[in-house]
Amino acid sequence: MRRTTIQLRQAAIVLAAVATVGLAVVPSTRSEETGGLQPLNEQQWNEAKARHLLFRAGFGNTPEEMARLHALDPRQAVDLMVDFHKQPEPKFALTIESPRPRKLVIDRAALAKLKPEERKKRLQELRKQQGDSRRNEREQFVDLREWWIRRMVESPRQLEEKLVLFWHGHFATGYRTVQSSYAMYTQNELFRKHAAGNFGQMLKGIVHDPAMLRYLDNDKNVKQHPNENLAREIMELFSLGEGNYTEQDIKGAAHALTGYGFDRRSFEFVFRANAHDEDEKTIFGRTGNWDGDDLVDLILEQPATARFIARKLFVFFVHEDPSQQTVEQLAAVLRENDYELAPMLKTLFLSQEFFAPAAMGTQIKSPVQLVVGALRSLNIKEANCTALLAATQEMGQELLQPPNVKGWDGGRAWINTNTLFSRHNFAAPLVTPATKPAGQRIPAAADVDLAMLLEDKDLQSAADIVDYLTEACLVTTISDARRQLLIELLEGDQPLPAPSEWKDQRQMVNARLVALLVAIMGMPEYQLT
């Protein structure tokens, strides 16, 4: 049995180190009102933009952290986010064992030789072994999911975790099909290894990734009976996009991928030479004895690939409607850098367009962004990860179980009358954490002691507190009238005591602060970032 204990990830993100490559020169043909991909200048840099960068290139942060980022110039701020490998490697304990649980194999002949009592005992032993193994696998999967969301909440390398989430949605793979937490873990580490590294390396990794090979049935793709599932999705969803390939290309790709499988016990990649088609295949009009690695190279040569990836990253980080020109320019940066992602990401995060009104405060938070951001905005470290995961699932995003190979649509698809209640109810356990009325089984995501979090921040009035919390939680400003409603809520019938007196009335103060927080979390602005 293979055992990998990860205390400190030793495999350094070597590929991300190339992120030090300078920014590519952006063609200056663009002169739209947004300024396109032209870099933001120092005069335009302000706290709101620093916050925007923190919430998009990460999951959010406190007003203090915004101020720290704002103190840098925009280029330094972007470098700090994108060159995350320069920050210390965060430590998050996780123990992952391979392989997945064995099926109960009963040697009937051997059993037949045993006496009836012994036979019964032996059968019981086997069943217990299998039960234990299944239970271990279930527990390990729970550990894996909690480990990941804890990283999002706590890792200082925020863009790394944000990108891992992006790649998980891009190369969407579901645990219920894969049935191996070990394989889901190794895939997650593949995403982390190349998060801001090289897309070509990532795509090569994917055609060797046991979780993906299982998810899209490539273990069944043999030369006698080619299975097109992986070949099709690689082109449609992972690299080229609909309309940039033919059915003939898919056929050729499926043949190139024959024999790319994995060992069913160890969940390690295996190339089955006897199942691989050694005949010539034609892909994109080019004929040769291609294998899966050649297929990736052929795909990377297609200009559509850089466009597709650039567009998808833009949509994830900026807004849903990039101009064709912007996509072309970002794709050019990607190609000029041989698919290294960091230079393109720096161009993107520094661009006028990233900070344009169409981008700032207009993105609908994904459920993961919502719950992770909720904790990060208030600098809450002790999260109940079980509750966080249950909450995102309720809102329509189950980590390691995307709805299908297309991943999550994002944007307005997150919102309907049902998921809105789930999003608003995320705050419900905060109101009366002690009692749980019938029908409500939402555990609190964290024990929030707002009085403790706020008492040393020199907040002298209810208005100060409202301003601090709305700044921490909302990326857009609110009208005076609505701000006044929040102040009235906090004031209640009698004024809030000064922070120096909170010690003695902690319970009352906390109840009022929590009510304010819950009200803010129910505002439509809270759903946006």
Partner 1 sequence: MSRIQIATRREFLSHGLGLVGIGAAVPSFLIQTALAGPQAQSGEPILVVLQLSGGHDGLSAVVPYGNDDYARNRKQTRIKADQVLKIDDEIGLHPNLSGWKDLLDAGSFAVVQGVGYPNANRSHFKSMDIWHLADNSERPSARYGWIGRYCDHAFEGDPDPEVVMSVGGGESPRAVQGRKHGGIDFRGAERYRYMVGDQDAQLGSLYRTLNESALKEKPTKKNENLDFIAQATVNANASSDQIRTLVKRTANAGYPPTGLGTSLRTVASLISGGLKTRVYYVFQGGFDTHRDQRARHDQLMADLNGSVTAFQRDLAQQGHAERVVTMAFSEFGRRVQENASQGTDHGKAGPMFLFGPSVKAGVHGQLPSLAANDLDRGDLKHNVDFRSVYATLLEKWMGTESQPILGEKFPLVDCIG
Query: Does residue number 9 form part of the binding site for partner 1 (CB under 8 A)?
Result: no
Nearest-10 Cα torsion for 66, 70, 74, 77 = -50
Q: Which stretch binds partner 1 (CB under 8 A): 256-264, 274-282, 340-348, 427-435?
A: 427-435
User: For residues 10 and 89, what is the distance between their CA atoms, to the nearest angstrom?
Assistant: 9
Give the CA diameter of the chain.
Answer: 87
Query: Does residue number 356 form part of the binding site for partner 1 (CB under 8 A)?
Result: no
Query: Does residue number 519 form part of the binding site for partner 1 (CB under 8 A)?
Result: yes
Query: Does residue number 413 form part of the binding site for partner 1 (CB under 8 A)?
Result: yes
Where in 249-308 is the site for partner 1 (CB under 8 A)? Answer: none
Which of 32, 118, 125, 217 lies at the binding interface for partner 1 (CB under 8 A)?
A: 217
135 class by beta-carbon count within 10 Å (0-12 exposed, 13-18 middle, 19+ buried): exposed
Which of 33, 247, 382, 456 lies at the binding interface for partner 1 (CB under 8 A)?
A: 247
Query: Does residue number 523 form part of the binding site for partner 1 (CB under 8 A)?
Result: yes
User: For residues 25 and 329, what is the distance between their CA atoms, to the nearest angstrom?
Assistant: 10
Query: Does residue number 46 form part of the binding site for partner 1 (CB under 8 A)?
Result: no
Contacts of 159 (CB under 8 A, 6+ apart): 57, 58, 81, 82, 84, 195, 196, 345
388 class by beta-carbon count within 10 Å (0-12 exposed, 13-18 middle, 19+ buried): buried
Signed CA dihedral, 459, 461, 464, 468: sign only: positive
Nearest-10 Cα torsion for 283, 284, 288, 291 = -50
Number of residues that bind partner 1 (CB under 8 A): 58
Q: Which stretch binds partner 1 (CB under 8 A): 11-19, 33-41, 94-102, 430-438?
A: 430-438
Q: Which of 243, 262, 264 is nearest to 308 (CA)?
A: 243
Contacts of 438 (CB under 8 A, 6+ apart): none
CB of 146 to partner 1, least distance (A): 22
Query: Does residue number 476 form part of the binding site for partner 1 (CB under 8 A)?
Result: yes
User: For residues 512 and 271, what is the distance between their CA atoms, to the nearest angstrom?
Assistant: 62
Give the DSSP per-residue string, 236-284.
IIIIS-TTSS-HHHHHHHHHHTTTEEE-TTT--EEE-GGGS--S-EEET
End-to-end alpha-carbon separation of the chain, Å? 45
Contacts of 467 (CB under 8 A, 6+ apart): 483
CA angle 256, 259, 262 (to 5 degrees): 130
Name the residue nearer to partner 1 (CB basis): 371 or 523: 523
Name the residue nearer to partner 1 (CB basis): 221 or 337: 221
Q: Which stretch binds partner 1 (CB under 8 A): 12-20, 62-70, 464-472, 511-519?
A: 511-519
Name the residue nearer to partner 1 (CB basis): 328 or 525: 525
Query: Does residue number 382 form part of the binding site for partner 1 (CB under 8 A)?
Result: no
Q: Yes or no: say if 164 and 191 are a contact pair by the CB < 8 Å rule.
A: yes
Which of 6, 300, 387, 442 lies at the binding interface for partner 1 (CB under 8 A)?
A: 442
Which of 21, 300, 489, 508 lies at the binding interface for partner 1 (CB under 8 A)?
A: 489
Name the residue nearer to partner 1 (CB basis): 343 or 373: 373
Give the DSSP per-residue string, 27-47.
PTT---TT-TTPBPPGGG--H
Q: Which residue has the tokens 């706020």?
A: 454
Query: Does residue number 321 form part of the binding site for partner 1 (CB under 8 A)?
Result: no
Q: Which stretch binds partner 1 (CB under 8 A): 102-110, 180-188, 191-199, 227-235?
A: 227-235
Signed CA dihedral, 304, 305, 306, 309: sign only: positive
Which of 5, 382, 437, 456 lies at the binding interface for partner 1 (CB under 8 A)?
A: 437
Which of 415, 444, 453, 508 lies at the binding interface for partner 1 (CB under 8 A)?
A: 415
Query: Does residue number 387 form part of the binding site for partner 1 (CB under 8 A)?
Result: no
Which of 95, 432, 443, 501 lies at the binding interface for partner 1 (CB under 8 A)?
A: 432
Q: 78 by DSSP, 3-state: which?
A: helix
Query: Does residue number 72 form part of the binding site for partner 1 (CB under 8 A)?
Result: no
Q: Which stretch binds partner 1 (CB under 8 A): 133-141, 161-169, 278-286, 420-428?
A: 420-428
Query: Does residue number 88 form part of the binding site for partner 1 (CB under 8 A)?
Result: no
Query: Does residue number 490 form part of the binding site for partner 1 (CB under 8 A)?
Result: no
Name the residue nearer to partner 1 (CB basis): 287 or 416: 416
Residues of this chain that interact with partner 1 (CB under 8 A) are 217, 220, 222, 224-225, 227-229, 232, 236, 242, 247, 357, 361-364, 396, 403-404, 406, 409, 412-413, 415-422, 424-425, 427-428, 431-432, 435, 437, 439-440, 442, 476, 479, 481-482, 485, 489, 515, 518-519, 522-525, 527-528
